[in-house]
Amino acid sequence: MDSSRRGHPNAKPVPKAVVGRVSLYLRQLESLQRQGLSKTSSDQLGEPFGIKNAQVRKDLACFGQFGRPGIGYDINDLIVVLRRILGVDKDWPLILVGLGNLGRALLRYRGFQSRRFHVVAIFDVDPKKVGQTYHGVTVEPLEALRKSVAAHKTSLALLCVPAESAQRVAEQMIAAGIRGILNFAPVPLATPPHVSVTAVDLSIQLENLAYKVQGSVDGVSWAG
Amino acid sequence: MDSSRRGHPNAKPVPKAVVGRVSLYLRQLESLQRQGLSKTSSDQLGEPFGIKNAQVRKDLACFGQFGRPGIGYDINDLIVVLRRILGVDKDWPLILVGLGNLGRALLRYRGFQSRRFHVVAIFDVDPKKVGQTYHGVTVEPLEALRKSVAAHKTSLALLCVPAESAQRVAEQMIAAGIRGILNFAPVPLATPPHVSVTAVDLSIQLENLAYKVQGSVDGVSWAG
DNA sequence: TAGATTGTTAATCGATTAACAATC
DNA sequence: TAGATTGTTAATCGATTAACAATC
């Protein structure tokens, strides 16, 4: 099934941007739940992110009807529903390839564990790292990728190798059965259509900030 | 000057998505330059990212006319122009607040240096970290933020503190004169309009991958 | 010249916002 | 009841793509 066509029965394709926002609504719902609240509104759900109430309702409508007119949404119920929609109502094993500075930082990153993402295997080309244990996981050589992915039924991977080897390692991941890659290497990956890639490119994000700040700080235009 | 209205003289506002793509074109240009090429086309510029030639030309048209019909673009010239547009033709001092795992990894991140972003000051609340030196920069207490930002004329900041203190620290940054924040804390920041924030939320990005993979791997729908 | 490729206009497409009857 | 808030339709807005005359 094509993920872009998922939704409630007979639904139109889900626009790309919707899923990202649904993640945000889930965050807000969990925050409201921690505050001890039980009901909320489309206004309150979008507010911290500057998203209008109509947008919130339209996004949720991609997946079904979850609110009651005049009342709003039940926080606990909607959390359960959205977790299932996003697929985070179950554990997701991850592999991490490339144990540099960033790889080690990701290994300790709290945000993953709290969302039921768990690094179950680590791979590196460096023979000095292979065999060592980090956070309870022993580093393996890249040759072990295929067997490990099959054994753990892993679908998702964190790619933290240098730019030069990223494409090659991605191909090995895909051959091993990986279907989604969070790519930290600053190069575009060529991948087949059944594999999803999200690029985390910090220098591009800083560049975008610099552009905005450049404009607002001193009024210098590119031609200036 | 409102950054959304920047561009060549008398130009329309630059659409948000354009700047991100221009960063990608610059990457590709630099890659082609390293390969020893001197000319390129709108087709070649967008190809690694799956961006169509018409889109590339339209994006560049926001800033001026840089190509020649029948010929294409001069790689060296266009690199100079795009760097100036993006503001990466000069050094950008950065401050880093919060020296946890992620903060330390960012400090060593190559991608920043290669784009002329330099961490010039580090701040942390932990008295044990204050006074220590990492990568040639001595950690200061948060109280020193204001003076440091003024001294270095810093506009950009990396926010790597825990979620609980992110908003408070962001406010201190803004009071000190910071205009752009790369936010690694998994909470939305409330900031005034003259301050730009880019959220780097890895668990949301993984969630989005999980959603896509969930659909393509086993056809399970949210209702299944 | 013929082929390639630009910049730009017009057409298409998709996403956001506003409005409102229906409901609690 | 009156006020609040939903789901949904229609209107608006913006972004992408196609097409093409102009140029080298």
**Surface of B (121-160) touching A: CB under 8 A:** 155-156
Q: Which of B217, B218, B182, B222 is nearest to B202 (CA)?
A: B182
Three-state secondary structure call for residue A73? strand
Q: Determine the distance in angstroms separating the CA of A193 from the nearest CA of chain B, rounded to an integer.
A: 10
- Which pLDDT tens digits describe chain A residue by residue (224 residues)? 444 456 565 557 788 899 999 999 999 999 999 999 999 999 999 999 999 999 999 999 999 999 999 999 999 999 999 999 999 999 999 999 999 989 999 999 888 888 999 999 999 999 999 999 999 999 999 999 999 999 999 999 999 999 999 999 999 999 999 999 999 998 999 999 899 999 999 999 999 999 999 876 544 444 32
Chain B positions in Cβ-Cβ contact with residue A80 (cut-off 8 Å): none
In the numeric block, which tokens belong to residue B98? 């919060």
Chain A positions in Cβ-Cβ contact with residue B217 (cut-off 8 Å): 155, 179
Please state, in angstroms and rounded to a whole number, the distance separating the CA atoms of residues A111 and B185: 9
Please state, in angstroms and rounded to a whole number, the distance separating the CA atoms of residues A14 and A120: 31
Domains for chain A: give ranges and CATH numbers.
3-85 (1.10.10.10), 92-204 (3.40.50.720)
- Residue A144: DSSP 8-state: G
- Residue B160: DSSP 8-state: -
Residue at minimal CA–C1' distance from D4?
Answer: A70
| SS3 sequence of chain B | CCHHHCCCCCCCCCCHHHHHHHHHHHHHHHHHHHCCCCEECHHHHHHHHCCCHHHHHHHHHCCCCCEECCCEEEHHHHHHHHHHHHCCCCCEEEEEECCCHHHHHHHCCHHHHCCCEEEEEEECCCCCCCCCEECCEEEECHHHHHHHHHHHCCCEEEECCCHHHHHHHHHHHHHHCCCEEEECCCCCCCCCCCCEEEECCHHHHHHHHHHHHHHHHHCCCCCC
* CA B24 / C1′ C12 distance in Å: 26
Q: The whole model's pTM is what?
A: 0.91
User: In terms of CA atoms, which chain A residue is nearest residue B87?
Assistant: A211
**Surface of B (181-210) touching A: CB under 8 A:** 181-182, 186, 188, 190, 194, 196, 198, 200-210
Rg (CA), chain A: 21
Residue at minimal CA–C1' distance from C14?
Answer: A15
Please state, in angstroms and rounded to a whole number, the distance separating the CA atoms of residues B100 and A159: 21
A32 touches chain B (CB under 8 A): no
* CA B12 / C1′ D16 distance in Å: 17
